[in-house]
Copies of this chain bind each other. A is one copy, B any other.
């Protein structure tokens, strides 16, 4: 069985790095952002996903998002660029799609951002509308911690039938290796093996790749590409144990994510500590970590020799 989305699937494999969008004095710090992109290119990431959750996409205006999409492509030196287009309103999503197309993006990331809880039909129709409006392949962004929408495997299957849906970004789950592999296999079966499956949740990247995911959509890999690429290469080459060991070496980092409420504030603190971005770098009302928390992040960065 052939499927129109199949040609795109290979694009959504390996490590896709999600850079921060640094904010300085309430504006996007374009010079710092360009530096982050060039750093990812130099590290050799497989793709760059601009304006993911780590890229603060929902906090930016349509104009800022268009500009960030363009900056990404301009500095990506041919590395494939995917652009997050999610927004609370379908009208805004479509404006973001047009901007990503104009910038030269090779793919789109779409999350069902919600305020009033969305129904499964609302979400299906959103994806149907967007896939009808563009020829770019789309990554379904399943991130219930931020969107507060929970996908079912049945909805994955409905979405995979839409021309243009090329990948599903699944949340990390605290499963045993065997359970994780069965979970990925169940999604693969339900979606007719037509879409790539990517893991998010940085602490579970190695586990997800070892469980058979095609891609790692990594937030921290947008700021620390080298150690995350080492994990990815090991897993993709079949060295599952090596991938797990490399990830276990980073346990102090994963512990900070768990303690400080996710990867965003910690990743921003890392980028600030490495002087890749100026502090503070997150959009208000997000204050970022406190000074004492930032000192603990700096200690872990130094101890693990992250750079």
| Chain A residues within 8 Å of B, Cβ to Cβ | 26, 53, 58-59, 88-91, 112-113, 115-119, 121-123, 125-126, 129, 145-146, 148, 261-262, 264, 283-287, 290
User: Could you say which of B90, B116, B126 contacts A146, with CB atoms under 8 Å apart?
Assistant: B116
Q: Which residue of B lies closest to A27 (CB)?
A: B91
Chain copies in the assembled complex: 2
Expressed in whole angstroms, the Cα–Cα distance for A59 and B118 within the complex equals 13
> Are A261 and B119 closer than 8 Å at their CB atoms?
yes
Contact status of A119 and B287, CB under 8 A, knowing A88-B58, A91-B26: yes
Chain B residues with CB under 8 Å of A290's CB are 121
Report the minimum CB–CB distance from A50 to chain B (whole Å). 16
Chain B residues with CB under 8 Å of A287's CB are 119, 121-122, 125
Q: Which residue of B lies closest to A117 (CB)?
A: B261
> Are B116 and A264 closer than 8 Å at their CB atoms?
yes
Expressed in whole angstroms, the Cα–Cα distance for A53 and B117 within the complex equals 12
Report the minimum CB–CB distance from A271 to chain B (whole Å). 16
Contact status of A284 and B53, CB under 8 A, knowing A59-B115, A115-B58, A146-B115: no
